[in-house]
Amino acid sequence: MRGTTVSDNNLVGIIMGSHSDWEVMQHAAKTLDSLGIANEARVLSAHRTPEQAFEYAATAPERGIEVLIAGAGMAAALPGVLAAKTTLPVLGVPLVSGPLGGQDALYSIVQMPPGIPVGTLAIGKPGAINAAFFAAAILGLRYPEIRRAIEEARAEKRDAILAAVDPKQA
C-alpha cells in the first residue's frame, strides 16, 4: 500500500513559523508522502500571524486534518499555540536556530502546561522524519492501510541492514 494515498483529504497539517523552516520540515512531508498519507504545509507564525495560526488549528478538523506537525525554533511557541486551539494531536519539532542550536526550542516545546500536550520530537531533520512516522502511527489506529505502510517501511529498513556486508569489509 506504500505510495497509495489513503484519503483525498489531507490528514496531516505541517505548520512552520517561517519559509526557511521548510528546509527541515520538508522531510516530514516527504516521509508522509512515501507512506501514502495526504498532507498540507503552511507557514504560520505564533508571533507574526497569531490569529491565522489560531484559525488554522481551530478549523483543521472540519477540513479533515487529524494530526498536526509543527516545526518551530528559538521560543518555539507555535506547537503550543496550535495545541491551545485544538484537541487534535500536535507533534512539535524543535528547529535549529539561534545561538543554542535548537536546545531552546526543545525546552520550549517540551515544557507545555498540564492539559495542553504537545508530543515533542528530536531537534531538526530526525525530528521531522519521526514526527511523520508518529503521525502515521496515530493515524494507523484508524486506517489499517497506514499501519501496513509503516510495517513495510520498517521491513525495508530492516532488510537493508541485514543485506549489508560485514562492516569490516566495506
Helix (H, G, I), strand (E, B) or coil at 64: coil
d(CA 86, CA 34): 27
**Annotation: binding site:** 18, 21, 48
CB count, 10 Å around CB of 21?
24
Measured CA to CA in angstroms, residue 136 lies from 7, 38, 107, 108, 115 at distances of 13, 11, 25, 24, 23
For residue 47, the 8-state DSSP code is: T
**Annotation: binding site for substrate:** 18, 21, 48
